[in-house]
Chain A
Amino acid sequence: MPVLCSRCAERRAMLKRPKTGHSLCKECFFWAFEEEVHQTIRWGPASGGKDSTVLAHVMKLLNERYSYGLELMLLSVDEGITGYRDDSLETVKRNQQQYELPLKVVSYEELYGWTMDAIVKQVGLKNNCTFCGVFRRQALDRGAIMLKVDKICTGHNADDVAETVLMNILRGDIARLRRCTAISTASEGEGVVPRCKPLKYAYEKEIVLYAYFKRLDYFSTECIYSPNAYRGYARNFLKDLESIRPSVIIDIIHSGENLSVREGVKMPVQGTCSRCGYISSQALCKSCVLLEGLNRGLPKLGIGKHHRLHNKILAQQPFTEKEESKLKPVEF
């Protein structure tokens, strides 16, 4: 016996919602999904993956349905990963035509003079995700400034946010734990464009089914360089929990949102990078230190804590032999 939709009680239910346990037909599911995103938006980057593809589709649709008056654009980062990003950029270009939105692509090569392929050649597969993550964050800001946009919407979904809450708890990173559940970030300073996560309460399951039922065109290949192992563990743990208790993802986000940090807990003071002016809690921002390390052939400079070397870099003083030997690439 087919199960009937619990909302319209007319059509056949096509999925069980993990968040609520409701059984819905396609039409009622589309409506519920879109309305919840609408509720999350209080006032775009595109990787070609499922999340940004669904985000672009839903933002365009809601912008028309509710006359937000937003001027939407697609922003994509080319990390310079042969066989991965070049393929997914093709998807982004198709999305651009399907949604008739302008597209801007910024590349690591033009911004930093290094592609991820070249970085991996120097640093190997151990800390490459650190470089990629730090560079992407800044690349999106720089791209957004070039486009003169007021806000960046990212495709982070409920599963991503719950993973991040867990990871920040496991690392004891109180400052990030406090920030990571915000739907929208306030402008943190010059060179940083406020971000928002319209899909923050949307389960990955629903995003994938939305894309599948709507036949949206997305790209699903794992990055060819080693995956972010730490996030991978958090993710598998969450997926196992979700199979026993589907509400766990929204529950963890709820926990994260309601944590309050006791007064007197030391937080890093946000300042600006003395070299590029980007936000930084150190003399030099992470991106400049990573880049300095790459250019000097000392890739470990930005990995781990070498804050006391920042002043030396800024004063252009040479490192001692002992300092250098710790920062050299590991031979493979």
Chain B
Amino acid sequence: MAAPITIHLEFGGGAELLFSGVKKHHMTLPSQSQPWDMKQLLVWIQQNLLKERPELFVQGDSVRPGILVLINDADWELLGELDYQLQDKDNIVFISTLHGG
């Protein structure tokens, strides 16, 4: 069993509007048999945090194209994207690029 982990989530660039305007969230992910990965985190966010219009945040099993994801300030494309295994105290940032220029 993997122990519960706490993570810090942040939504910006307009993505926070889908989360009642709240940008920063401190969350504890419950323990489960496998370690948490980004794919599972996206499902968890959809079920527990996302307040409206899920199609503006997720597409298929990933984020909607145009939303940037940073894991501890680094582009998730460098870290395996959906397969990245979350560590305790990770900082995950979602920035929408789809709002206003």
A and B: interacting chains: yes
Residue interface mask A1-29, B partner, CB < 8 A = 1: 01100000000111110000001000000
Residues of chain A with a CB closer than 8 A to B12's CB: 212, 220
Please tell me if B70 contacts chain A, counting CB pairs below 8 Å. yes
Q: How many residues of B contact A (CB 8 A)?
A: 23
CB pair B65–A239 under 8 Å, yes or no, is yes
Please tell me if B66 contacts chain A, counting CB pairs below 8 Å. yes
- CB-nearest residue of chain B relative to A208? B97
CB pair B75–A16 under 8 Å, yes or no, is yes
CB pair A223–B74 under 8 Å, yes or no, is no
Q: How far is the CB of A273 from chain B (nearest CB, A)?
A: 28
A16 with B77: in contact, given A212-B70, A221-B14, A242-B65 (CB under 8 Å)?
yes
Please tell me if B45 contacts chain A, counting CB pairs below 8 Å. no
Residue interface mask A86-103, B partner, CB < 8 A = 1: 001000000000000000
Which of A46-54, A256-264, A300-308 forms part of the interface with chain B? Answer: A46-54
CB pair B101–A239 under 8 Å, yes or no, is no
CB pair B68–A220 under 8 Å, yes or no, is no
Please tell me if A235 contacts chain B, counting CB pairs below 8 Å. yes
Q: How many residues of A contact B (CB 8 A)?
A: 35
A3 with B101: in contact, given A212-B70, A220-B12, A243-B65 (CB under 8 Å)?
no
- A-B pair count, CB < 8 Å, reads 76
- Contact for B68 among A3, A52, A209, CB less than 8 A: A209
CB pair A47–B75 under 8 Å, yes or no, is no
CB pair B66–A239 under 8 Å, yes or no, is yes
Please tell me if B73 contacts chain A, counting CB pairs below 8 Å. yes
Please tell me if B53 contacts chain A, counting CB pairs below 8 Å. no
A208 with B13: in contact, given A13-B78, A49-B101 (CB under 8 Å)?
yes
CB pair A222–B74 under 8 Å, yes or no, is no
Residues of chain A with a CB closer than 8 A to B17's CB: 221
What's the Cα separation between A240 and B55 when bound, in Å? 14
A15 with B75: in contact, given A205-B68, A208-B95, A240-B65 (CB under 8 Å)?
yes
Please tell me if B30 contacts chain A, counting CB pairs below 8 Å. no
CB pair B68–A221 under 8 Å, yes or no, is no
30-68 of chain B: CB within 8 A of chain A: 64-66, 68
Which of A3, A51, A156, A242 gathers most chain B CB within 10 Å?
A3
Residues of chain B with a CB closer than 8 A to A34's CB: none
What's the Cα separation between A155 and B12 when bound, in Å? 20
Q: How far is the CB of B37 from chain A (nearest CB, A)?
A: 17
A220 with B100: in contact, given A14-B74, A23-B78 (CB under 8 Å)?
yes
Please tell me if A219 contacts chain B, counting CB pairs below 8 Å. yes
A221 with B100: in contact, given A50-B13, A208-B13, A239-B65 (CB under 8 Å)?
yes
List residues of A whose CB falls within 8 A of some B CB. Answer: 2-3, 12-16, 23, 47, 49-52, 88, 155-157, 160, 204-205, 208-209, 212-213, 219-223, 235-236, 239-240, 242-243
List residues of B whose CB falls within 8 A of some A CB. Answer: 12-14, 17, 64-66, 68, 70, 73-75, 77-79, 93, 95-101
* A-B CB contact pairs (8 Å), 15 listed: A14-B73, A15-B77, A15-B78, A16-B75, A16-B78, A49-B100, A49-B101, A50-B100, A155-B101, A204-B97, A209-B75, A221-B14, A221-B100, A222-B100, A236-B66
Task: Give 9 nearest A-B pairs by CB, closest first.
Answer: A15-B75, A239-B65, A16-B77, A243-B65, A51-B101, A239-B66, A220-B14, A220-B99, A49-B100
